[in-house]
Structure 1
Amino acid sequence: MKKLCLLAMSALLLFSCKKEEKKDFKPSFTKVETDTLLTDSVISIRGLVIDGDKAWYSANKGKYGWVSLSGGGNFSGIATHDTIFPEFRAIAQTKESIFILSVATPALLYKISKDGKQVKQVYTETGEKVFYDCMKFYNDKEGIAMGDPQNGCLSIITTKDGGNTWQKRDCAGLPDVAEGEAAFAASNTNIIIKGDKTWIVSGGKKSRVFFSADKGGVWQVFDTPILQGGEMTGIFSADFYDEEVGFAGGGNYEQRDLNKGNKILTIDGGKTWTLAGEGTGPGYISCVQFVPGSNGNELVTVGLNGVFYTYNRGSSWKKIADATNLNTLQFADAHTIIAAGQKNIVRFKLSN
């Protein structure tokens, strides 16, 4: 019996050592080339989606459109409501359509055919506290958008018919928000979807993660250690590589250089979070995204300090571009970043 116990303890120790063994993190690229895809002196873009060889965007002054990634022609449109030129910060897509959603009141949600020829308003909401931040689709039928709190809960609207109609969720089926807890329409990355699972990140005086395993039917809420407590603090952006590994960034918008308390990592699906790269890398982060195919090790951020890259889950960082006017980014593939913000859309090509 004693011999068996010793063998069991040895096996346990061996397993523990292997589990704690440090990973051999390596960067997947060493060179970055930049080219400009769109220049507009008055445009401000915070929403991007990649559709094949097109990068669709949602912007201020009612503007939306796409830029070609393969050398073809670009397209631009303007959606207005009476005399209002909305600010579109949220964008999402299905196989056949693009959806853009404006901030503030009235909230205006438009469905646009991918040839740009058909534009239909499919949802409107008015109210003093109406302010939508982000929108995503689970599939070609089911979608979700979220916004700042009303009546004590986050604003959630959903569709089950491909975006033709949208319904507002009642607070009775949603978690309560804390005082001063809201969200930021910084980069259309407040919502993350993996299969049926949904994560929504909040910010402000309280910054947490709202999680649903069943497309928004039942919700749990998890605390985070990110900087919070002020109106312009907390999580501004998040991404999940898979159902377990996720990363969130933000900080304090009013202290752009502060790089402590602004980067957090989870490896258990968002239940618990740890601070990453304290005192290193970017300050305020507007958008963070995992590099595709990187096993959840590599991330890129944009914000007021430039474009930063980590290959070890946020432990150390390297600035890869000085651009300080970018609000959002999406990967077209593992070697191509499309980023947008004030006045332009740019492409970063990653290579060795």
Structure 2
Amino acid sequence: MRTRLGKLSASVATAVAVALALLPAGAASAEDLSWEQSVIDPDQSFRGLDAVDAKTAWISGGSLSGGAGKVYRTTDGGETWQDVTPPGTEGLSLRDVEAHDAHTAVVLSIGPGEASRIWRTTDGGTSWTETFRNTEEDAFYNCLDFYPGGKRGLAVSDPVDGKFRILATSDSGRTWEVLPTEGMPDSTGEYNFSASGDCLVIRGHDAWFGSGGASARVFHSTDRGLTWEATDSTLPAGEAAGVFGLAFRTPRHGIAVGGDFAAPADGTDASAYTSDARSWTNGGDLTHLGEDAAWLAGSRSTVITVGESGDVAGSSVSHDGGVTWTQFDTAGFHTLDCTPDGSCWAAGGGGRVGRM
């Protein structure tokens, strides 16, 4: 099925995104930024997004009515979207999608036990192969990402026996293995939030994931996921609070965003930044949840964050690397991605997709 979108042509969307990306940091003020929104599938809450470039993007989500979680793909800048959902996703929530190009992508469904599954396609979603199905009752996989080149990838599960569980692939997602836990710090009482598909991210040779619950920490690995060091994120922890999303401009410079789903309007201390990939400094407050973040291409200090929870939603921009934030749109989304060619995409509840 293809859904036609006529609100914004691909050429205009690309031109706007590239122009914004090439402006010096701070030149694109909050007044210059806004989202052009379209509804692809009102029954879906989209939380997985991977934008390949200005023309190609993949999104994934879960049904609001209990139906199938779905995957959609565009190759024409968002003018049309094709339903490329794997078979057998009824009742599942597809919270993360990682795409190599217009043809190859990996999708993760979340949940306890066998609800956590991974599929892979190499023909643009015409066919899919299920490459992993969790068999551990206590495991609950939340996010995944791949190292440069797309062969090595990691997925993270909530703690099993007091330690986060890491799943790894070395063949582009064709097969997966659970890694030993000796190199994982004790994480009793913590868990991930699969809010945006970016609770685990990879940049260069480094990987990070965020936590909440008993502590709100950022875990960092420099050896392909075998050992991890945990650092306080400075974000408040709680039953529904912690780190929701991470974004790194370089392997040293990153942003952590989050909040509290129980109090989505309270954005106090809901962001942090790092310049050494190890220690974190509390950033500016937000007026909404920070579920995901992305750096604007061509800028060393401009980063965007989005979030939505019921009536509380918004999009904010920082021109100083996360030290301060300004809300630029009342539209909020669950997930966000900006590509090297300057295009920015977002997706969220009610089947909405945004282009900047």
Q: Same fold judged by TM-score > 0.5? A: yes
Residue type at the aligned position of 1:43:
Q
- Kindly state the Cα deviation for residue 100 of structure 1 after the two structures are TM-superposed: 0.6
Residue type at the aligned position of 1:339:
A
Q: Deviations over 1:196-224 (max 9, x none)?
A: 11111111121111111121133222222
Residue type at the aligned position of 2:83:
S
SS in 2 for 1:218: coil
Structure 2 match to 1:284: 289
- Kindly state the Cα deviation for residue 39 of structure 1 after the two structures are TM-superposed: 2.6
Q: Deviations over 1:284-323 (max 9, x none)?
A: 211111212211x111111133111111223332222111
Q: Larger C-alpha radius of gyration, 1 or 2?
A: 1
Matches within 5 A, 1:137-216: 137-138=146-147, 139-177=149-187, 179-216=188-225
Residue type at the aligned position of 1:236:
F
Residue type at the aligned position of 1:263:
S
Unaligned 5+ segments in structure 1 are 1-23
Q: 2:91 aligns with which of 79, 85, 90?
A: 85
Given that 1:299 and 1:311 are in contact with CA atoms closer than 8 Å, whether structure 2 keeps it comes out as yes
User: Kindly tell me: are residues 274 and 33 of structure 1, through their superposed partners in 2, closer, same or farther at Cα, counting changes over 3 Å?
Assistant: closer
Structure 1 match to 2:338: 331
- Kindly state the Cα deviation for residue 283 of structure 1 after the two structures are TM-superposed: 3.1
Give the structure-2-normalised TM-score: 0.83
- Kindly state the Cα deviation for residue 63 of structure 1 after the two structures are TM-superposed: 0.6
User: Kindly tell me: are residues 151 and 71 of structure 1, through their superposed partners in 2, closer, same or farther at Cα, counting changes over 3 Å?
Assistant: closer
Aligned: 1:300 with 2:308: no
SS in 2 for 1:343: helix
Q: 2:140 aligns with which of 109, 112, 131?
A: 131
Query: Over the residues paired in the alignment, what is the CA RMSD in angstroms?
Result: 2.1
Q: 2:110 aligns with which of 89, 94, 103?
A: 103
Structure 2 Cα separation of the partners of residues 334 and 320 of structure 1: 22
Structure 1 match to 2:256: 248
Structure 1 match to 2:46: 45
Residue type at the aligned position of 2:99:
Q
Q: What is the number of equivalent residue pairs in this alignment?
A: 318
User: Kindly tell me: are residues 141 and 336 of structure 1, through their superposed partners in 2, closer, same or farther at Cα, counting changes over 3 Å?
Assistant: closer
Higher relative contact order (CA 8 A, sep 6+): 2
Structure 2 Cα separation of the partners of residues 128 and 212 of structure 1: 26
User: Kindly tell me: are residues 149 and 339 of structure 1, through their superposed partners in 2, closer, same or farther at Cα, counting changes over 3 Å?
Assistant: same
Structure 2 Cα separation of the partners of residues 339 and 25 of structure 1: 21
Percent identity over paired residues: 27
Give the structure with the higher percent strand. 1
- Kindly state the Cα deviation for residue 257 of structure 1 after the two structures are TM-superposed: 1.4
Structure 2 match to 1:267: 275
User: Kindly tell me: are residues 320 and 174 of structure 1, through their superposed partners in 2, closer, same or farther at Cα, counting changes over 3 Å?
Assistant: same
Give the structure-1-normalised TM-score: 0.84
